[in-house]
Amino acid sequence: MGTTDGIDEEPWWHEGGAPLLGRDGELDLVAAWTARAFPPGGLLVVAGEPGIGRTALLRAAARRAERSGAVTAWVRAPGDRRPAAEAGVHWAAATARAVRAAVGHADACHAEPGRADAGAAAVAREPDGTVRSAAGLARALAAEAGLLRADRPLLLVVDDAHRLTTQALAVLHHLGSAGTAPGLAILCSARADTPAARPPQGDALRLGPLDAPTAARLLGTRFPGLSRRRRQEIAEAAGGLPLALVEAGAEEAHAGPGEQPNGAGPDPTPRIGPRLRRIHAERLRRLGPAGRSVLLAAACEPDPDVDELLAAAAALHGGPVPGTALDAAVRAGLLVLPPDGGAVRFRRRLDAVATLEAAGRRRPEAHAAWARTLADRPERALLHRATAAPGPDEAFARALEERHRRAVAVGTPVPGTALLDLAARLSADSRDRGRRHLLAAEHARALGRPGPTRHHLAAAAAERLTTADRTALHWLRTTATGCPPPATGTVGRLCADARRLAPDAADRAARLLLLAARLCHRGALGPAPAAEVLAALDALPPGGADEADGADEAGGADGSEGSGSVAAVRPAILALLDPAAAAGPLRRALERFDAAPDPHPVTHALILAEAAHALGEHTRAEEIDTRCLPHLHALGLHGLLPALHARRAAVATVRGDAEAVRQAAAALADCAEDTGRTAWRAPATAFEAMSAGLAGDSERALSAAERAEAEALRTGRVDVLAVSVAARAASAAGEGRHLAAYERLRRLFDPGDPAHRPAVALDLVAPFADAARRSDRRAEARRLLRGAEQYARPRPAPATRLQLAYAEAVLAPGEVRAALTDIAGSGELTGWPQLYALVHLAHGSALRRARRPAAARTSLRAAMEVFTALGQRRRALDVAAELRATGERPPRPEDTGPEQPRLSPQERRIADLAALGLSNREIGRQLDLSPRTVGSHLYRLFPKLGITGRAQIVHRLPIVAGPTAMLREVS
C-alpha cells in the first residue's frame, strides 16, 4: 500500500501476484542482502525517483522473503502533520502495532482487545513515563520485536521513508544500525533526492529506468492491443520510467468512443496520466517561478543551447534568470545538460508534454519570448511568431507552407504535420485552409499516421474546396488503407479525373494515373484499361510544377510509394503498362539519379525504383532502395516503407534466399500494422509462404498460402495470388514433388489461368524449367515459355535473360552440357545464387548420366553448398542424394547417428525419393530408370532398412522425408 508522493503505486505496475518485469537483478540483490541481514540485522534503502517502481520492488521482495519463512511487517510513512516532537513517538508506536499485527497474523492468533495498543504505548515511553529519545525508541522497538518474533526472522518494510520527519527518520536509522536489533532486517524505500536515501549506516540500492527491451516487454504484456510501433514510441517518450510507460499505455488502451488508440488520434504524441501529471506538478512547484520559466522555454524550442535558453526564459520570466534555475531543473531529473556544452534537452519527452500541458495560457507567451530571443534568426523564429499570433494571418500561413515545401525538397526532417497544421489554422480563406489540410493529410499518410490523416481529411471536407482539391480528397479517402482493389471501373474513373485535372493540376493528374497503372499491373486487368491510362498520360504536359516538391513526400494516390512530378511519374507508368516504351525514359532517369549526390526528393527515387523493378532491373531497384532507406527512416516517412520491403522480398525470391525473404516479409507485415496499411497484409503473408516454401517448412508454407490466396481472390490481387501459387511450388519442389511444382508454376504462364502474372512468371523461369525437366514436361514447358517471350523482349535485364537461357538449355531435347557450361562460365550468375545452383545441379546431373561421376561431383558440390547457404535445406538434401549416386559420401546429419543402414548410392537415392512420396514411375523419370528396375531396388533395400513396405521408409530415414511427406496434396 505504498505511495509515491501521496500517489498509490500498486495498481499501475504490480497487480496482485503478477511477476515484476525488468527487476530480476534488483530482486536478487535484495534477496542476497536479506539472507545476510538475518540474524545480525541491518537497513537497506531502495532509492529512486517518483514513478520508478520502489513500492513494486518492495512488495516483490517481501513476498520472496515470506516464501523463505520470514515474517513481514509493513509500515507506511505518516500522512498527518504532527508536531516534530511527537512524530518520532507516533511512528515508533505505529511500527510496534504493525509488528504485533504481522506476528499475530503469521501465528494465526489474535491479540486481546487493547493489548496491542498498550504494548505500542509502552514502546514510546520510559518506565517513569518520560518520552524516549530516538535511540531509546529504537532499542525499545528492537526489544519488542525480539520478544514477538520467536525464532522466525522479521522483515520490517517501510515505504516512502522520505516522508518521515527528522525524529522519525532518526529512529529508523538507529533501528537499522548494526547490533541494535538482531533478527530484524529493515527494507525501506525513499526518493533519491532526499536524506532518507542516504542512511548513515546501512546499504542503499538505486533503481534506474528500465532498458528499452524491458520497457517494450512491459507494454506488450500489459497492453497487447498496442501496435509494435506505438509501443516503441511510448517506450522512447517514457524514457524507461515504469509509471510513465503504464499510464501512457493505459491512456491508449482505454481510449473512449471518440478517441483513437495506437496513436491514431489527431495528435500522435503519447499522453500522460493523472499520477504522472500530479508528480510533474509537484516538481514544477519545487522549481519556483524562474525554474518553471526555464522548463517551459525548453519545452517550446527543440534542443536549444544554454545561452539561448536562459535568454528566452528571462524574456518569459520578465527579469533575469540565474543559472541556478537551470541547475535545479537538471538536479530534478527533468533536463539534461551535456558536458560538452551542446544542446539542452528533456530527459524524457513525456516531461516536455507535461510541461506544455501545465503551461496553459503561458504557452503563447513562451513562444513570443522565443520569437524575441531569435529575432536575428528569422527562420527559427518563424514557428514561434506564428504560434504566438493572436488570430488568422495569411502571411504566416504562406511562410509556414513554404518552409514545409523547402524542407521536403532538400530532405530535411520536419516536425510531423505541425507546420501545415498551424498554416491551416492561420488561414483566413476557406479554400486555402482546406488545401493545407489536404497537404497535411498527404504528409501524415507518408509518415504512416492514419489518425492525423483522417483528422486532416475531415477538416478539409468541412471547407470550400476547389474541384482539384475535392477530387484529391475523394481519392485520398478511397485509398486510406492502401491501394484499392483492382477494377476496370476504378481505372476509368481515375483516368476521367486525371483528364479534368490536367490543365490546372498536371502533377496531381499524374499521380492519379500512376495509381491507375498500379491497379492495372497488380490486377492484370488487360490491355483496354492500360491503353486508357496511356492515352490519358499522353494528354498530360511533359512536366508540371503546381504541386512539385510540395506534396511529393505524401505518397502516390494510394499512399504507398510516393508521388512526384509528371517527369518522375511517366517512366513508372510506362514500365508498368508499356515496357517497350519505358527503356529510354528509365535509362535517362537512372543517369540523373546516379549523378545526384542524394536521393531527394526521396519519393521520386522510390518511383524510379518501382519502374526499374517492373522492368526486371532488380539490382538497380535494390541499389535505389538501399540509398533511400536511411533517408526514409531519418525523415520518419514510414508510410513509404511497405512498397520498398515488398520489392526486397520479390528480389530475394528471385535469388532464392529463404532468410532474406522471411526478413523482408516480416518487415512488410510490421509496416502494415504500424502504419494502418491493411492492404499490405496479403502480400506480406504471400511472401511469408514463399520463405517457408523455400526453407522446406511445407506446413507453414501451405497455411500462409491459403490465407494469402483467400485475400487475393477477395480483392482481385493477381500479384498476391501469383506469389502464393509460387510458394506452393517451392514447397513441392523442396519435397521432391517436381510434377506438383510444375503444375503450380505453369499457372503463372498460362494466360487462361486466374494466377497468370507475366512479371512474376519471368522472375521464376528457372524454377519452372527445373520442375519441367525433372517431371518430364519439357515439350509443354517450351510451348508456354514461347508465349511468355513477348513479355520478356522489353525486359532485357540480366536475370530474365539468364533464366531464359537456362530454360532453353535444360528443356531442349538432346545434349545440354555444352549450353550449361557456357552459362556457368559466363560470369553473370554471381548475383543470382538460386540460378547458379540450378545450373550446376542440371550440369552435374547430366554429367552423372553420361557416366562421368568425377566431373559431376564438382558441379553438384557447388549446387549443394549454394542451396545450403540459401536456407533451402531440402533442395540441398536432394543434391546430396545426387552426389551419393556418383559414389561420393557427402556429410549428412543422419550419418552421425548409430546403426545407419548401409545402402548403395543408387539405393539411397531411390529410398530418399520414395520417402518423399514419389511413385516408381516418377522415381524412374528422375533417375532414367524403368519402373520395374525401381521396384527391384526397393525390394532389395527393404531388408536392409528392416522394413516391409515403402510407407515405413519415412520412419527409417526421417531426416530426408520429414513429417511433410505425409501432407495431403493441395491442388
Backbone phi, psi, residue 503, to 5°: -60, -35
Strands (E) located in 14-69: 42-48
Rounded CA separation 756/744 (Å): 11
- What residue has cell string 553420361? 850
DSSP state letters, 927-971: HT--HHHHHHHHHHHHHHHT-SSGGGHHHHSHHHH-GGGGSPP--
Beta bridge partners of 186: 43, 156
Rounded CA separation 224/231 (Å): 9
DSSP state letters, 106-145: HTT--PPTTHHHHHHHHHHB-TTSPBP-HHHHHHHHHHHH
So what's the pLDDT on residue 176? 80
Query: pLDDT tens, 791-828?
Result: 877 777 888 888 998 999 889 887 777 888 888 877 78
So what's the pLDDT on residue 316? 93
Query: pLDDT tens, 710-722?
Result: 988 888 888 899 9
So what's the pLDDT on residue 16? 44
660 in Cβ contact with 668 (< 8 Å): no
| CA nearest to 192, candidates 51, 47, 368 | 47
Helix (H) or strand (E) holding 574: helix 566-577
Total residue length of the chain: 971
Q: Which residues of the chain have pLDDT under 70?
A: 1-19, 77-87, 105-132, 146-151, 178-179, 254-268, 341, 543-564, 890-902, 916, 954-971
- What residue has cell string 522555454? 297
Helix (H) or strand (E) holding 901: none
Rounded CA separation 62/790 (Å): 77
- Judged by DSSP in three states, 493 sits in helix
Sign, Cα dihedral of 505, 508, 513, 519: negative
Q: Assign 3-class secondary structure to 634-689.
A: HHCCHHHHHHHHHHHHHHHHHHCCHHHHHHHHHHHHHHHHHHCCHHHHHHHHHHHH
Query: In the Cβ-directed half-sphere of 783, how many Cα atoms lie within 13 Å?
Result: 6
Contacts 24+ apart (CB under 8 A), 421-424: 421/456, 422/383, 422/386, 422/387, 422/397, 423/386, 423/396, 423/397, 423/398, 424/397, 424/456, 424/459
Contacts 24+ apart (CB under 8 A), 957-962: 957/894, 957/911, 957/912, 957/915, 958/894, 959/877, 959/892, 959/893, 959/894, 960/877, 960/881, 960/894, 960/912, 960/915, 960/916, 961/912, 961/915, 961/916, 961/917, 962/696, 962/874
Helix (H) or strand (E) holding 428: none
Peptide bond into 601 cis (omega under 30): yes
So what's the pLDDT on residue 124? 59
Beta bridge partners of 131: 125
So what's the pLDDT on residue 148? 61
**Neighbour-count burial for 621-637, b at 16+ CB within 10 Å, e otherwise:** bbbbbebbbebbeebeb
For residue 957, give every residue at least 6 positions away whose Cβ sits within 8 Å of its Cβ, in sequence order, or none.
Answer: 894, 911, 912, 915, 945
Beta bridge partners of 191: 48
Rounded CA separation 555/518 (Å): 13
Angle separating helix axes 798-811 and 618-635, nearest 10 degrees:
140
210 in Cβ contact with 75 (< 8 Å): no
For residue 385, give every residue at least 6 positions away whose Cβ sits within 8 Å of its Cβ, in sequence order, or none.
Answer: 367, 368, 371, 396
- Judged by DSSP in three states, 605 sits in helix
Rounded CA separation 757/522 (Å): 9
So what's the pLDDT on residue 552? 34
So what's the pLDDT on residue 664? 93
Rounded CA separation 268/177 (Å): 51
Rounded CA separation 956/571 (Å): 58
CB atoms closer than 10 angstroms to residue 856: 25
Rounded CA separation 598/61 (Å): 55
Q: What share of the chain is helix, strand, coil (3-state, %, to 5)?
A: 65, 5, 30
As to burial, measured by CB atoms within 10 angstroms (0-12 exposed, 13-18 middle, 19+ buried), residue 839 is: buried
453 in Cβ contact with 473 (< 8 Å): no
So what's the pLDDT on residue 749? 92
